[in-house]
Each structure stands twice: as C-alpha cells, then as structure tokens.
Homo-oligomer: A and B are copies of this chain.
Amino acid sequence: MQDLTPGARLRSSFMATDTAVRKDSRGVSYLSLKLVDRTGSIDARMWGLPEELLKGLPSPTYVDVEGHAHEYRGTLQVKVERLRVLRLEELSEVDYLPATEQNRQAMAEEVMLAGRGFENEHLKDLFELMVSDEQFWKAFCEAPAAKGMHHARIGGLLEHSVSCLRIAHALAQLYPVDQDLLLFGVVFHDVGKVHELSWGGGGFAYTTEGRLLGHVVLGERLVSSYVAALPGFPEELRLRISHVLLSHQGETEYGSPERPKTLEALLVHLVDNLDARAAMYLETTTNVSPGGWSHHANPLGRALYVPDEPERENPGENA
C-alpha cells in the first residue's frame, strides 16, 4: 500500500475499519472506510452502493476490494469500485495486523552484532544471556513498540531499537560515554513493552500487569532478573543499568520514577525521544501529498507539512 500513487489500480484484501454510510454534497449516499493491511492503512470511499451496503458495515470487517487511488485535498485516497465481504473462515486475522516492512531477521542480527562487540565482559555476558533466552528473544523481535503512538506494528519494538542503536553509534564517537552501556541501554530501554502489551489476533492491547506496573518498571525488573543470574556482576554496573532503564522517559510526569542523572541515561532518553518523534512525523504523513498538510489529531498534536516536490524547488537542476 506504501507504493500507491495517484491513478494506480488496487485489487487486494484488507481489514476495513471506521466504516460509515454518509451523504455527499449532492445528497448521494456513499460508504466511508479505512483499508488496513500489514503495510499500513488508507482512507477509502465507495459510491453506487448495492442494497446490502446501504445499511453499513461492522468495524472491523475483512473485505476484498477493487478500485484505484487518487488524491483528495492533498491526501491519497482509494475510490472503491467493487467490494466483497470475506468470511472469517477465508482468512487469518493476524495477516492483517500492521507489521514492520523491515527485515526482522536482519535487524535482529544487527542488534546481536552490537552486543557481541561489547568490551565490558559483564555487559556482554548479560546481553548473551538475554538473546539466548529463546522465548524472550522471540517476543522482543515480534512486539510492537506501542499501542498507537509510534511503531505500533509487529516488529516495531525491534525497528525502534535498531534505529536508536544506529544513532547511539554516532553519539559514542562524539561524547566521553561508556559506549557499551549506551548501546545496551538504547537497545533494551523499552524491553518492558514485551510484558506491557499483548499482540494477538484481536490487535494490540495493554495487559493487566502492564496497566498496573507499566513498562518502565517491568523492563527494569526483567533485566534485573537476568543480572541476578550472573554471579559476580558488579554492584555499580547493576545500579547504572537499572538507572538507565528507569529514567528513560526523561521526566517523572512521563512515568520515570527518577530523571536521568548519568550521561548514559541522559543520552538513552534523548535518542529514544528523537527516534519516536521522527517516527510520529513519518507515520502521520504517510499518505499526505507534497505541499499538503496532515490533520491536527496525531501524536505530535499539530498539523504537519509535507514539503512540495524538490523538482519544483530546483528548476535549474535538470538544465
């Protein structure tokens, strides 16, 4: 869906959400809906409704759709020409959950490579212990990074961790920081999401444990349990790891019981924040056309602009 351009034809199956029958400015009824699949979502409209669609559709429904893409007020939209409701027997719900477009295997290897390069033996052992816990590692590579703010997709936690890891590599060249602890911190700062969220056929949701304890404490507790399994782990390092995990939200009002007080903790928070906000921009503007504006209602809380085509800026470029 990411590759749709105005004019392109579309024929595929989707999860349909936010369904409603409305009237246009001429008084004609049409079906308004959102089409979701692994690669993202897009708004759609259907006119010329057959009788059985005039009364609307439940949300979500799974549908087979034919139509084509076009631009409407600066945002890409699908005009549906044919629509068939699928029965649950025809499909596997999990296929329609949004999922990362990145290669999860490659991302997992990038993380492993970083951990195996640690010079600090204790952090290296801790890292090795964690990635060799198969059940944990599978969950970490599958989990979404959030229910809705950013990276809310299968593999989203891994994707966010890898982005943070790449930024951290650059920072380690710049500041007199404990590189191993910084890398460990950016990779696992959100590890508590693995217990805070659930991701099954029914979509992404908070667990009861997640709502009562929160991912900040759950993550610190999880890593501490691996540390406890390593005899001779230095107390000072244990404290510094726990501090990085507990303080990564940056401010108490965002759920960190303490604010960052070491350089590694400060940088982990800042890198997390940077990648999260960049993702909010990118995910909000996915379907906005060049020169257009997004809606106000998004995690950044303001309308966002997608600049006009660079070609128009640089007319002399092709000369």
Asked if A35 is an interface residue, CB under 8 A from chain B, the answer is no
Chain copies in the assembly?
6
Asked if A278 is an interface residue, CB under 8 A from chain B, the answer is yes
Expressed in whole angstroms, the Cα–Cα distance for A302 and B250 within the complex equals 12
Chain A 206-238 interface mask (CB, 8 Å, partner B; 1/0): 001101111011001100100000001010110
Task: Tell whether, in the assembled complex, residue A208 and residue B174 are in contact, meaning their CB atoms are under 8 Å apart.
Answer: no
Chain A residues with a Cβ closer than 8 Å to the other chain, count: 82
Asked if A50 is an interface residue, CB under 8 A from chain B, the answer is no
Which of A39-47, A133-141, A263-271 interfaces with chain B? A263-271
Expressed in whole angstroms, the Cα–Cα distance for A236 and B255 within the complex equals 23
Expressed in whole angstroms, the Cα–Cα distance for A310 and B118 within the complex equals 14
With A239-B208, A253-B252 known as contacts, the answer to whether A56 contacts B261 (CB < 8 A) is no
A65 CB → nearest B CB, Å: 18
Which of A4-12, A93-101, A161-169 interfaces with chain B? A161-169
Task: Tell whether, in the assembled complex, residue B56 and residue A236 are in contact, meaning their CB atoms are under 8 Å apart.
Answer: no
Asked if A84 is an interface residue, CB under 8 A from chain B, the answer is no
Task: Tell whether, in the assembled complex, residue A121 and residue B262 are in contact, meaning their CB atoms are under 8 Å apart.
Answer: no
Residue of B nearest to A181 (CB): B307
Task: Tell whether, in the assembled complex, residue A208 and residue B305 are in contact, meaning their CB atoms are under 8 Å apart.
Answer: yes
- Residues of B contacting A257 with CB < 8 Å? 213-214, 216-217, 255-257
- Residues of B contacting A262 with CB < 8 Å? 212, 304-307
A258 CB → nearest B CB, Å: 5
Expressed in whole angstroms, the Cα–Cα distance for A214 and B58 within the complex equals 43
Expressed in whole angstroms, the Cα–Cα distance for A220 and B254 within the complex equals 19
With A211-B303, A255-B257, A277-B270 known as contacts, the answer to whether A282 contacts B175 (CB < 8 A) is yes
Task: Tell whether, in the assembled complex, residue B256 and residue A253 are in contact, meaning their CB atoms are under 8 Å apart.
Answer: no
Chain A 32-68 interface mask (CB, 8 Å, partner B; 1/0): 0000000000000000000010011110010000000
- Residues of B contacting A242 with CB < 8 Å? 212-213
Task: Tell whether, in the assembled complex, residue A314 and residue B122 are in contact, meaning their CB atoms are under 8 Å apart.
Answer: yes
Chain A 171-191 interface mask (CB, 8 Å, partner B; 1/0): 101111010000000000000
- Residues of B contacting A213 with CB < 8 Å? 239, 242-243, 246, 257-258
CB contacts under 8 Å to B, within A97-115, are none
Residue of B nearest to A24 (CB): B58
- Residues of B contacting A24 with CB < 8 Å? 58
Partner of A266, one of B216, B239, B277: B277
A293 CB → nearest B CB, Å: 7
Which 10 A-B residue pairings sit nearest by Cβ, starting from the closest? A170-B170, A25-B58, A234-B313, A212-B243, A253-B253, A270-B274, A214-B257, A214-B258, A261-B305, A237-B313
**20 A-B pairs with C-beta separation under 8 A:** A24-B58, A25-B58, A27-B52, A167-B167, A171-B278, A175-B282, A208-B239, A212-B240, A212-B262, A214-B258, A217-B220, A234-B313, A234-B314, A234-B315, A255-B258, A256-B257, A261-B304, A261-B305, A262-B304, A263-B278
Beyond A236-B313, A266-B281, 18 extra complex contacts between A and B, CB < 8 Å: A24-B58, A27-B58, A166-B170, A167-B170, A167-B174, A208-B239, A211-B293, A212-B239, A212-B240, A212-B258, A213-B257, A214-B258, A217-B257, A232-B316, A234-B312, A252-B252, A256-B257, A274-B274
